[in-house]
Chain A
Amino acid sequence: MNFDLSDEQKMLAEQARGLLAERVPFDRLRKLIDANAEWDEPLWRELGEMGFLGANIPEEFGGLGLSELDLAMISQELGRVNAAVPFASSLVLAADAIRLAGSDVQKAEWLPRLATGEVVGCFAYAEGPGDLLGRGVRQEGAKLNGTKTPVADAGVATLAVVQAGEALALVRLDQPGVARTRLDSFDQLRPHYRLDFADADAELLPRGGQIETLFDRAVVQAAFEAVGAAEACLTMARDYAMERQMFGRPLAGYQAIKHKLADVAVAVEMARSNAFYAGWAAGDASGELPGAAAAARLTAITAFEMAARENLQVHGGIGYTFEANCHFYYRRERTLAIALGNREHWAERLIAHTPGSQTKAA
């Protein structure tokens, strides 16, 4: 057994981390919010030039053909800086869906352009409040009708993979049959849209039955994103506590604060460990994936939730200002906790995939 990242993976993480630290200082995020921007387009282009956007796309389609764990290094670093790019929508969801369920023609048409970042994809599943997957949108023949809302990153995407019942459909967003309406998004760095389809041209992805696998794989990446973000919160809180004087000595010297941050640190390492295992399972042990992904999801959300909340708490009043940096994570955390299914959903999946459980897989 070797339960550590490879040297190449560590280098990839370091490379991504170095680039992002330079390109995404917090003031950059503030500027994007003030401009009500769709995304950090220059960063996206740069990620494309460096090949990051093709990380999970097979070499025959112009990507790097890296493993799920390699990809996870990038997800983690994007999470750490709260980057405003549609990496998860375009690569982790749309491209992966095409790779898993698409025909060779569809793959050849879309994957190379997704790999360079020239085409941005998004993934549409929810239909208003409640259930994770919508039930209204249907594909009949080559036409799609109904409404998906909210859909992350649909403003900059030209291509959507749309869940329609048990099937997945490919829909170009730049056609008359699609109306996009930007919604007010809780996460100010991740825009969401309502998509209305009225006899929109759509193509089925021929290999059915892939939705659960797609979500399992996507939550593994989201878990790494959450681990990166939680770690950023933890560091920020520790650094602030070291600096802040309270009753004549550093705040970091009080056990209440040490214990609080030690609890967060434990949660982060638990989450990281589950994420490693799930990342490995996603690549090399697909039978283990559903349970491993669900476990990674649950611990990652717990860690990020604690970290985001307690980071702001440790900052006191200053944490409530736009000039401080706690809020980016406080909002992003809810995105990561809710998109791709809430805790209850993944708890069910974990129980269903526990060896010895009598419950049948959902």
Chain B
Amino acid sequence: MDFNESPEEAAFRTAAKAWLAANAPQHELPEGVMLDDTEEVMLGRAWQRAVYDGGYAGITLPTALGGRGGTGIEALIFAEEEARYNLPKGPYIGIGLGMALPVIGKHGTPEQIAAYADRTLKGELTWCQLFSEPSAGSDLANLRTKAVRAGDDWIVNGQKVWSSWAHRSDMGILVVRTDPSVPKHKGLTFFVVDMTSPGIDIRPIRQISGASDFNETFFSDVRIPDANRIGAVGEGWACCMTVLMGERLNQGGERGGIENLIAYAEATPRGAGTALDSGSVRMALAQALAEEQAGKSFQARLRTMVSRGENPGALAAMVKLAFARRYQQTSGLALELRGMDALAPPAGDARTREIQHDYIWSTVIRIAGGADEVLKNQIAERVLGMPGEVRMDKNVPFEQLK
């Protein structure tokens, strides 16, 4: 075991640092300003293009996909250095790199890879994820949007929901039911879809944060060429698993860092000193910091497993579960230690406003990408080997389910 960076890794960090110092500042977002969605995506594309030109796009993606073919550690190093700047990196970029490319890379044809990989890495194509439906979230395989074969095309009808940034995406990754006569996980097929296709109707949903960056996406007789099918007919569930695994491995830690909260406590007056003088605040933040550090080391272990070709499986769920809980707990605590001012900070106090946002956003982290309860089931069943819930819906043809 060696926690130090290898000479190659250290050299990578030095180079990445220098490159970022020269390129990132002009792409930074203004502090505390809510950008218009269209503008944010435009800035996101431009930054991604710069990353591509710098040779840092898709660090872990194989060179065959146009990536750098680097290691997970390198990706982490770059992400750490990149996080020192306030850059436009939303789902509009993340879904393409973290979900679309891996699934296309693993299940797609060489033609599909050629069609999408390079343009996505350059920020030319933005992507959304069209999985969830009103009655299919945790129980994703319960989805009802259906596709019927018609010559060289498929005709899609149904409704997706919570589709982040679909209203500003060029392409979508889509899972639909192509065979209702087999059990729910078996009759699914995976596609990429051009979001400008006729018959797609995207309606933004207002969120509790005040933003409206996820959507209901309706499909009425939308034609998708069979050439857009990823993997075999009926292989949709396996494709989804590829996407969700990537989602889980990449989560955790990018926001709500505990060191920032310690600094926040120290910047909050209390009597003659600061809020950080309080024993209970110190205890809570130190515990959270220790857990955050554990999460980082845990992730390093998982990355090591991945680099050896092992599948961390439900272990990845542990990192996400622990992070989600801590994120809500500590952002809530930070508001409390701030006192009344946290409820209505002065206009210039961007830090408190960010923590308020964290407290709101933490609810999403506990739900999306595997909700707490679902992850606990996975850990119990796949890590501890405990039996699953008795299920009535697994081996019955979908069309016979109520």
B363 touches A320 (CB 8 A): yes
| CB closest chain-A residue, reference B352 | A129
A256 pairs with B373, CB closer than 8 A: yes
Chain B residue nearest in CB terms to A185:
B344
Q: Which residue among B161, B208, B352 has the maximum number of chain A CB atoms within 10 Å of its CB?
A: B208
CB within 8 A of B363: which of A247, A260, A319, A343?
A319
Residues of B within 8 A of A183 (CB): 344-347
Name A321's contact: one of B206, B340, B344, B402 (CB within 8 Å). Answer: B206
B395 → A minimal CB distance (Å): 11
Q: What sequence of 0s and 1s flags, for each residue 177-211 of chain A, a beta carbon within 8 Å of any chain B beta carbon?
A: 00000011111000011100000000000000000
Which chain B positions have C-beta within 8 A of A149? 341, 344, 346
Q: Does A9 contact B (CB under 8 A)?
A: no
Which of chain B's residues has its CB closest to A253's CB? B389
Inter-chain contact A130/B269, CB cutoff 8 Å: yes
Complex contacts, A337 vs chain B, CB 8 Å: 332, 336
B275: A residues at CB distance < 8 A: 130
Q: Are B391 and A248 in touch, CB under 8 angstroms?
A: yes
Q: Is A214 interfacial (CB 8 A cutoff)?
A: no
CB distance from A304 to the nearest CB of B (A): 12
Report yes or no: B341 in contact with A128, Cβ–Cβ below 8 A: yes
* Interface positions of B from 216 to 240, Cβ below 8 Å from A: none
Looking at the complex, which one of A131, A186, A192, A326 makes contact with B339 (CB distance below 8 Å)? Answer: A131
Q: Is the CB of B206 within 8 A of A322?
A: yes
Hey, which chain A residues are within 8 Å of B280, CB to CB?
344, 347
Chain A residues closer than 8 Å to B138, beta-carbon distance = 246, 316
Complex interface: chain A residues within 8 A of B359 (CB): 334
The main secondary structure of chain A at its interface with chain B is: mixed
- Chain B residues lying within 8 Å of A187, measured Cβ to Cβ, are 343
**B335 to A257, Cβ gap below 8 A?**
no
Query: Which B residues between 336 and 365 are near A, CB-CB below 8 angstroms?
Result: 336-347, 352-353, 356, 359-360, 363-364
| A94-126 with Cβ < 8 A to chain B | 125-126
Residue-wise, chain B 129-163 has the 8 Å CB interface mask toward A (1 for contact) of: 00010010111001000000000000000000110
A17 and B320 alpha carbons, distance in the complex (Å): 41
Contact assessment for B343 and A192 in the assembled complex, using a CB-CB cutoff below 8 Å: yes
Tell me whether B208 and A330 are in contact (CB under 8 A): yes
Known contacts A129-B269, A257-B373, A317-B137; decide if A344 and B278 are in contact (CB<8 Å). yes
CB distance from A256 to the nearest CB of B (A): 5
Partner of A342, one of B135, B337, B389: B337
Query: With the chains together, A149 CA to B339 CA distance in Å?
Result: 11
Residues of A within 8 A of B341 (CB): 126, 128-130, 149-150
Q: Is the CB of B367 within 8 A of A316?
A: yes
Binary A-proximity of B371-402 (CB < 8 A = 1, otherwise 0): 11100110000000000010111000000011
Q: How far is the CB of B10 from chain A (nearest CB, A)?
A: 40
B270 touches A184 (CB 8 A): no
Rounded to whole Å, the gap between the CB of B153 and the closest CB of chain A is 31
**Residues of the A chain whose Cβ atoms lie less than 8 Å from the Cβ of B376:** 256
Instruction: Please tell me if B309 contacts chain A, counting CB pairs below 8 Å.
Output: no
Bound CA span A155–B325, Å = 37
Interface residues of A, count at CB 8 A? 49
Contact of A339 among B343, B360, B373 (CB under 8 A): B343
Distance between B244 CB and nearest chain A CB, rounded to angstroms: 15
Task: Kindly provide the distance from the CB of A303 to the nearest chain B CB, expressed in whole angstroms.
Answer: 15
A320 touches B364 (CB 8 A): yes
A334/B347 contact (C-beta < 8 A), A130-B269, A131-B270, A316-B367 known: no
Whether the Cβ atoms of A313 and B371 lie closer than 8 Å is: yes
User: A305 near B: Cβ within 8 Å?
Assistant: yes
Q: What residues on A are CB-neighbors of B366 within 8 Å?
A: 313
A256 nearest CB neighbor, chain B only: B373
Question: Nearest 9 A-B pairs (CB), nearest first?
Answer: A248-B393, A192-B344, A126-B340, A150-B344, A130-B269, A327-B208, A183-B344, A129-B341, A322-B206
Interface residues of B (CB under 8 A from A): 132, 135, 137-139, 142, 161-162, 205-208, 268-271, 275, 278, 280-281, 328, 332, 335-347, 352-353, 356, 359-360, 363-364, 366-368, 371-373, 376-377, 389, 391-393, 401-402
18 new A-B contacts at CB < 8 Å, known A126-B340, A322-B208: A130-B269, A185-B344, A186-B342, A193-B344, A247-B139, A247-B391, A313-B372, A320-B207, A321-B205, A321-B207, A321-B208, A323-B205, A334-B343, A335-B343, A337-B332, A339-B340, A344-B278, A347-B280
- Residues of A at the B interface (CB closer than 8 Å) are 125-126, 128-132, 149-150, 183-187, 192-194, 245-249, 254, 256-257, 260, 305, 309, 312-313, 316-317, 319-323, 326-327, 330, 334-335, 337-339, 342-344, 347
A sample of 20 cross-chain residue pairs with beta-carbon separation below 8 angstroms, ordered by A number, consists of: A129-B339, A129-B342, A129-B345, A130-B275, A131-B270, A149-B346, A184-B345, A186-B344, A193-B344, A309-B328, A312-B363, A313-B367, A313-B371, A313-B372, A321-B205, A323-B206, A338-B335, A338-B340, A343-B336, A344-B336
